[in-house]
Amino acid sequence: MRLHRIDHVGLRVSDLDEATARWAIQFGLTERSRGDGRALLAVNDEPYSIELIAGGEPGLDHYAFELAEDCSLDDAEAHLGSLGVAFENREDSLFVEDHEGRQVQVMPYAGPADEYGDRPQHARPSSTVALGGPRKLGHVNCLTAEIEAGARFYTEVLGMKLSDWLGENGVWFHINSDHHVMALVDVGYAHFHHLAFDTVDIGKMRDMLDHLARHGRWLGWGPTRHGIAGNIASYVRIVEEECFVELYCDMEQLQSDHRPRTYPDDRFSSNTWGPLPPRSYFRFDGDAIESERQSLETRGVMLKGTD
pLDDT the model gives residue 304: 87
pLDDT the model gives residue 116: 79
Collapsing DSSP to helix, strand or coil, 186 comes out as strand
Cβ–Cβ < 8 Å for 163, 172: yes
Question: In this structure, is residue 38 part of a structural domain?
Answer: yes
Question: In this structure, is residue 289 part of a structural domain?
Answer: no
Distance CA 30, CA 17 (A): 14
Question: In this structure, is residue 300 part of a structural domain?
Answer: no
Domain housing 72? 3-111+134-276
Question: In this structure, is residue 288 part of a structural domain?
Answer: no
Domain count, the chain: 1
Which pLDDT tens digit goes with each residue over 249-282? 999 999 999 999 999 999 899 999 999 999 999 9
Question: In this structure, is residue 295 part of a structural domain?
Answer: no
pLDDT at residue 306 greater than cutoff 80: no
What sign does the dihedral 150-246-239-20 (CA atoms) show?
A: negative
CB atoms within 10 A of CB 241: 23
Which pLDDT tens digit goes with each residue over 102-150? 999 999 999 887 877 888 888 888 888 878 889 999 999 999 999 999 9
The CATH number linked to 73 is 3.10.180.10
Question: In this structure, is residue 307 part of a structural domain?
Answer: no
Question: In this structure, is residue 283 part of a structural domain?
Answer: no
What value does the mean pLDDT take over residues 26-38? 96
Mean of the per-residue pLDDT values of the chain: 95
Question: In this structure, is residue 290 part of a structural domain?
Answer: no
What value does the mean pLDDT take over residues 181-194? 98
